[in-house]
Amino acid sequence: MSIRTLIVDDEPPGRQRLRALLEADPDVTVVGECADGAEALAALRSEPYDLVFLDVEMPGLSGLEVARRLGPDRLPAVVFVTAHRDYALPAFEVRAVDFLLKPFDRARFQKTMQWAKEQLAREAEPEPARPSGKPMERVTIKSGGRIYFVKTEDVDWVEAAGNYLRLHVGNQTHLLRETMNGLEGRLDPERFWRIHRSTIVNVDRVQELQPLFHGDYAVILHDGTQLTLSRSYRATLPRYFGESL
């Protein structure tokens, strides 16, 4: 396993420290460094990375702004690095692997890398075999002491949200405690299309596809929502549209 990694920090000593630690790990390849948020955003849009160490406070775009602008579909596994503890909650709202508080020692860094490798390994696991039998027709939602049901045919798309999934249903969203692979295995494979490690879309909601970079495609829904078809999931395209891009 070679983990393609990007270092983003506006301070040269910070970049040098991270590079030294990362280059000591035989599973890691440091592909590049960026000194500000705009440079990082351009780099992350131009080629694929597996992991990014992203400083939070930088001139211009902050690390959090970079993550939000890139969006969950294109954001690699991210470790936020900062000297300020107050950024921990916003960091995990964008599904960060870890929040590395400066100054950190080698042992703390190695723990971060262990978590990052575990997450990347889970994402690389093959899709589970779908159980035989009829696909699920409704999802049970538990919220605020209530239990209610959502028809699967009404779900527009699904995104990973930490230990939960966020179901987008019209102008509403619902949180479901489930894994992406687990839900995918119970949905109708003729209706729901896994387009990214963190995204499933209802095929009936897809309006068009637009080419992006490096084999990725924008998936445009009828309501204008733009998602990303990752090149690693592009092979499933003929199942739904009868032709390859």
* 124-138 per-position pLDDT tens digit: 655 555 555 688 899
How far are the Cα atoms of 31, 52, 185 from residue 16, in angstroms, in the given order? 14, 15, 44
Whether 162 has a pLDDT exceeding 80, the answer reads: no
How far are the Cα atoms of 167, 198, 212, 230, 238 from residue 147, in angstroms, in the given order? 15, 25, 40, 34, 37
- For the ranges 83-87, 139-143, 153-157, 192-196, the lowest mean pLDDT is seen at 83-87
Residue 93 lies in a domain: yes
The whole domain housing 163 covers: 138-241
Residue 160 lies in a domain: yes
Residue 129 lies in a domain: no
Compute the mean pLDDT over every residue in the chain, rounded to the nearest whole number.
Answer: 85
Q: Same domain, yes or no, for 89 and 9?
A: yes
- Please tell me the predicted confidence (pLDDT) of residue 203: 93
Look up residue 225 and give its DSSP letter.
-
Q: Same domain, yes or no, for 119 and 47?
A: yes
Percent of the chain having pLDDT more than 70? 85
- Please tell me the predicted confidence (pLDDT) of residue 1: 56
* DSSP H or E stretch at residue 169: strand 164-169
Q: Same domain, yes or no, for 120 and 143?
A: no
User: Alpha-carbon distance 6 to 79, whole Å?
Assistant: 10
Q: Which residues pair with 46 in a beta bridge?
A: none
- Please tell me the predicted confidence (pLDDT) of residue 130: 53
Phi, psi of 29 (to 5 degrees): -120, 115
Count other Cβ atoms within 10 Å, centred on residue 162. 13
Residue 68 lies in a domain: yes
Residue 155 lies in a domain: yes
Whether 177 has a pLDDT exceeding 90, the answer reads: no
Average the pLDDT over 82-105 and give the result. Answer: 74
Q: Which of 136, 141, 174, 144 shows the shortest CA–CA distance to 158?
A: 174
Average the pLDDT over 177-186 and give the result. Answer: 88
* DSSP per residue, 82-100: ES-GGGHHHHHHTT-SEEE
Residue 116 lies in a domain: yes
- Please tell me the predicted confidence (pLDDT) of residue 38: 93
Structural domains in the chain (count):
2
Asked which of 124, 148, 172 is the last residue of a domain, the reply is 124
User: Alpha-carbon distance 159 to 209, whole Å?
Assistant: 18
Average the pLDDT over 76-102 and give the result. Answer: 75
Look up residue 130 and give its DSSP letter.
P
Q: Tell me the pLDDT tens digit for each residue of 185-200.
A: 899 988 999 998 889 9
Sheet holding 172-176, edge to edge: 172-176, 164-169, 157-161, 199-202, 192-196
- Please tell me the predicted confidence (pLDDT) of residue 89: 56
Indicate yes or no: pTM above 0.85. no
CA angle, residues 113, 52, 36, in degrees to nearest 5: 135
- Please tell me the predicted confidence (pLDDT) of residue 6: 96
Q: Same domain, yes or no, for 96 and 18?
A: yes
Residue 130 lies in a domain: no
Average the pLDDT over 150-164 and give the result. Answer: 89
- 215 vs 134 pLDDT, higher one: 134
Average the pLDDT over 97-105 and give the result. Answer: 87
Average the pLDDT over 158-187 and give the result. Answer: 88
- For the ranges 60-74, 82-96, 148-162, the lowest mean pLDDT is seen at 82-96
How far are the Cα atoms of 70, 71, 234 from residue 237, in angstroms, in the given order? 24, 22, 5
Is the preceding peptide bond at 128 cis, omega within 30 degrees of 0?
no
